[in-house]
Chain A
Amino acid sequence: MIKNNRLTKEQYQQNFSDIHPPFETQDAALVEANRCLFCYDAPCTKSCPTSINIPKFIKQISTDNIKGSAHTIFQSNIMGAGCSKVCPVEKLCEGSCVFNLMHETPIHIAKLQRYATEKAIDQKWQLFERKKSTGKKAAIVGAGPAGLSCAHVLSREGIDVTIYEKESKGGGLMTYGIAAYKVTPKFCEDEVNYITSIGGIEIKYDQELGKNISLVELQKRYDVVYLAIGVGLARQLDIPGEDATGVIDAIKFIYELRNNDFSSLAVGDRVAVIGLGMTAIDAATQAKRLGAKEVTIIYRRTEAEKPCTDVELDIAKLDGCNIIWLAAPKEVKSINGKVNQLVCSRMKLGEPDASGRRSPVDTNDTFELDVDMIIKAAGQTPFEKLVSDISIINTKGKIEIRNCASNIKGVFAGGDCVNGGKEVVDAVQAGKDGASSILSYLGIKNE
């Protein structure tokens, strides 16, 4: 049965508290900072999509120069605080820490990054100065990581930025699309306010492209437009019975979770989650933590091909989620319009596909799973209709860019709407790259 209010207030609080708690004391941060070897041309920095000078910011923590440390981080990644909580660091900076090669625990880079950046946000340190206004105006569509990152660089260089955001809060996926135990709504709000506190950035909320605003209008009123509209449509399963009550998509599920009181969120007794990306893991663990008795993740390939990291998979396993490998959804069966069974095909691995991974092949053998809720997390698709309607050249909805510029003069794009959906940190870098191209386009020298 799908119902809400399954747990006590204390249980909700415990289940959704910080999964990666911060250093409790300065001494604890110092011990860790002092463990860092201060590598030259460091592998961690090379593995960060935004190239944060990690050895430098850690060294600055150890010399008690926290302000300098936060500056070092934000200089490369203005969402460094959020990234310290949501980045899959095990496959980025921490994954390449040289300590791994000595079979030692890698430096807790994310935790140290959080230590410095949280202090900066809490203390409202203004670490950047906006240059005198150039009189140039930029419109950015989307106040997610790419949009905010682009806005911050442009504002620093004296551009007046207006961001149009379709939601009522900024932060994009950080605010609406990530498991609640990683970031809180309060943190997301503080982070957005911290970024815009430099000045020269206005965010207009509840303004959706194609609804409240049009690209043509923006082009008229601004010198440049930067599209950072992300992705957002959940990939459909295209199987019989998919429209039954109790079948929802993970994006919507997490969106609701991030916008409502936990006790108001309904979840089934037996939940199936389709897919094994980061969003699937988030959906599975959050469903379990909302009080679902049984959560089963269905994945069509084997562990070797999984898109999530080992660390993420471990979280799901430790939460008690089951995983069925080599299984693909075939049909949703329901009673009175409500889901009661998921029929799955057993798969086997065939030849490698375009992704280089061995593709799943149906064995025609099936099994049934008794479930009362199905969460679809089989990936997201870009806003193909939206971008096609405004004549932007795209590939299946992914905007085509050259040096961050779209086919329309003065219209730039970056982030998930271009790459189809990557990490927050990739979007931040895209925003920086976009800003850099925009500045060249406007004839402003970028520092």
Chain B
Amino acid sequence: MADISSNFLGIKSPNPFWLASAPPTDKKINVLRAFEAGWGGVVWKTLGSQVKNVSSRYSAVDYGGHKVMGFNNIELISDRPLEINLREIEECIKLFPDRAMIVSLMADNDKKSWHELIKKVEDTGAHGFELNFGCPHGMTERGMGAAVGQDPEIAKMVVEWVMEVATIPVITKLTPNVHSVVPTGRACVEAGTNALSLINTIQSVTGIDLDTLVPNPFVAGKSVFGGYCGPAVKPIALKMLTTIAQDPVTSKVPISGIGGVSTWKDAVEFLLLGASNVQVCTAVMKHGFRIVEDMCEGLNNWMDEKGYATLNDFIGKSVEKITHWEDLDINYHIIANINQDKCIHCGLCYIACEDTSHQSINLEYGKPYNTYSIKEDECVGCNLCKLVCPVDNCISMVEKRKGDEYLNWKDYQRLGLPLNDH
């Protein structure tokens, strides 16, 4: 059995699965249920400035009959009294001393407010802080949340205020609503944050009701940009995580990965790209806390199969595999091959290639079943046919190198090699 326990900045948890700062972590009853279900830790829903939430807070994007491929919310930080939150945090820590308790913070934009908040929260016995520099709705209009994370100077200033008084580890959560997460990430690391977490939600409009013409979520005839999350944002989160993991400054601190993590496989991908643990929200909002069981078991089985004893054995292993385009090997060439025994004659590969790619698939008419085969000379190996094929392993990409040696674009130009002629 692999050891899936996690140590993040000295904060220990039985597994690397934390619940992100969000509605599932906003009070004792939820958090205790989460711990009972087996979650390794929670980031308590953001405390700080006084707010009041609206009714009708969530909306979703469904795709191809699947509910909640993407999800957005316009809920602000906790609107419960600070004292109740603090008391409940303390109680949860006592009941589950082996779990990580991080508290998310977003104070008004002055040093005094931050200092007071930090002291009060530290008294609960919490193990760490997460600074919410990412909330993309509502709070930004008051100069908080993403408004801080979008400006490296302001972010740096706030982190410095925090580090003046904090005696427990500080994680700074980054907003994806920027052209690059690296500048703010660097500023925060330079200001002393102990770790980074990313991504927060992405500003979005999930859709419009075609009867009322009001976008979602509907609040008394109006709507507002909401924070997008769920499976749909995972690829964006992985890209941003990679830029943080590859940067010489930001890669010095541990990273907590967030953004569409729904399964153990998603978690492994975040860890491979440099995250030390992951935070989950949308998946539990759809399915409940019980999903952590398979996350732990799946991770464990995968690690056993691959021979990884601890998480550290594979964290970051894929970071160096993402390179620059100009370093890719142009001599690497693949050609599609259709396994005729598996083909169900749906024609999806054909029409995709014919209409939108390189007209590399031959159609031989049959009634009712056509036969499809690859025109090897035309195929550029783009993968499209394989991607749209509904049958597993029916289309495979066969390696047929153009040359034995590694040849990148820079060499290609330098050697004056020929470009395509059609």
Query: Are A41 and B64 interface neighbours, CB within 8 A?
Result: no
| Chain A residue contacts of B346, Cβ below 8 A | 37, 39-40, 42, 98
Q: Which residues of A contact B363 (CB under 8 A)?
A: 41
Binding stretch for chain A, among B92-100, B310-318, B326-334, B365-373? B365-373
What's the minimum C-beta distance from B380 to chain A, rounded to whole angstroms? 21
Q: Which residues of B349-392 have CB atoms within 8 Å of chain A's CB atoms?
A: 350-351, 363, 367-370, 390-391
Which residue in B65, B368, B390 is a CB contact (below 8 Å) of A31?
B65
Identity of the chain A residue whose Cβ is nearest the Cβ of B63 in the assembled complex: A34
User: Which residues of A have CB within 8 Å of B370?
Assistant: 41
* Selected contact of B345 from candidates A34, A62, A98, CB within 8 Å: A98
Q: In the complex, which of the residues A34, A40, A96 has the most CB atoms of chain B within 10 Å of its own CB atom?
A: A40
Indicate whether B348 reaches chain A with its CB closer than 8 angstroms.
yes
Distance A98 CA – B65 CA, assembled complex (angstroms)? 20
B347 at the A/B interface (Cβ < 8 Å)?
yes
Q: Does A30 contact B (CB under 8 A)?
A: yes
Q: Which of B69-128 contact A (CB under 8 A)?
A: none
A40-B348 contact in complex given A31-B65, A34-B65, C-beta closer than 8 Å: yes
Alpha-carbon distance between A42 and B348 when the two chains are bound, in angstroms: 10
Question: B64, B65, B346, B370: which has the most chain A beta carbons within 10 Å?
Answer: B346
Given known A-B contacts A34-B64, A43-B368, A98 and B351 have beta carbons under 8 A apart: no
Question: Contact string, A21-59, partner B, CB cutoff 8 A, digits 1/0?
Answer: 000000000110111011111111011000000000000
Question: Would B351 and A40 count as touching, CB distance under 8 A?
Answer: yes
In the complex, the answer to whether B65 meets A39 with C-beta atoms within 8 Å is no
Whether A102 sits at the interface, judged by CB under 8 Å, is: yes
Number of residues from A at the complex interface, CB < 8 A: 21
CB-based contact A39/B368 at 8 Å: no
Q: Are B345 and A43 in contact (CB under 8 A)?
A: yes
Complex contact A41–B65 (CB within 8 A): no
Min CB distance A66 to B, Å, is 14
Question: Are the CB atoms of B367 and A39 closer together than 8 Å?
Answer: no
Taking a contact as CB atoms closer than 8 A, the residue among B64, B347, B391 that contacts A39 in the complex is B347
A43 proximity list for chain B (CB < 8 A): 345, 368-369
Cβ A46 vs Cβ B391 within 8 A? no
How far, in Å, is B324 (CB) from chain A's closest CB? 37
Complex contacts, A30 vs chain B, CB 8 Å:
65
How far is B347's CA from A41's CA once the two chains are assembled, in angstroms?
A: 7
Interface of B is mostly: loop
Residues A42 and B64 in contact, CB atoms below 8 Å apart: no
Chain B contacts for A47, CB-based, 8 A: 368
A101 within 8 A of B: yes
- How far, in Å, is B207 (CB) from chain A's closest CB? 13
Question: B65–A37 contact, CB under 8 A?
Answer: no
Interface centre among B351, B368, B370, B391 (most CB of A within 10 A): B368
B163 beta carbon closer than 8 Å to chain A: no
Cα–Cα distance between A98 and B390 once the two chains are bound (Å)? 10
Task: Indicate whether B2 reaches chain A with its CB closer than 8 angstroms.
Answer: no
Q: Assess the B347–A40 pair: CB atoms within 8 A.
A: yes
B344 at the interface (CB under 8 A from A): yes
Q: Cβ of A98 and Cβ of B367 under 8 Å apart? A: no
The chain A residue sitting closest to B354, CB to CB, is A40
In the complex, which of the residues B65, B344, B350, B367 contacts A40, with contact meaning CB atoms closer than 8 Å? B350
Q: Across the interface, which residues of B come within 8 angstroms of A39, CB to CB?
A: 345-348
Chain A residues whose CB sits within 8 angstroms of the CB of B64 once the complex forms: 34, 62
B391 / chain A contacts, CB cutoff of 8 Å: 102
What's the least CB distance linking B216 to chain A, in Å? 16
Task: Return chain A residues, CB-CB under 8 Å to B344.
Answer: 98-99, 101-102
Report the separation of the CA atoms of residues A42 and B369 in the bound assembly, to the nearest whole angstrom. 8
* Interface set, chain A 58-102, CB cutoff 8 A to B: 62, 96, 98-99, 101-102
**A46, B65: Cβ atoms closer than 8 Å:** no
Query: What is the CA–CA distance of A40 and B350 in the complex, to the nearest angstrom?
Result: 8
Residues of chain B within 8 A (CB-CB) of A102 are 344, 391
Contacts of A31 in B (CB 8 A): 65
For the complex, give the distance between the alpha carbons of A285 and B65 in Å: 38
**B interface footprint on A1-35 (CB within 8 Å = 1, 0 otherwise):** 00000000000000000000000000000110111
Measured CB to CB, the nearest residue on chain B to A102 is B344
Residues of B within 8 A of A96 (CB): 368-369
Q: Name the interface residues of B390-410: CB closer than 8 Å to any CB of A.
A: 390-391
Given contacts A39-B345, A46-B367, 5 further A-B contacts (CB under 8 A): A33-B65, A38-B348, A40-B350, A41-B347, A44-B368
Chain B residues packing against A (C-beta within 8 Å): 64-65, 344-348, 350-351, 363, 367-370, 390-391
25 interchain pairs (CB within 8 A)? Answer: A30-B65, A31-B65, A33-B65, A34-B65, A35-B65, A37-B348, A39-B345, A39-B347, A39-B348, A40-B346, A40-B350, A41-B347, A41-B350, A41-B363, A42-B347, A43-B345, A43-B368, A44-B368, A46-B367, A47-B368, A96-B369, A98-B344, A101-B344, A101-B345, A102-B391
Top 8 closest pairs, chain A to chain B, by CB: A40-B347, A34-B65, A43-B368, A40-B351, A98-B344, A46-B368, A101-B344, A39-B346
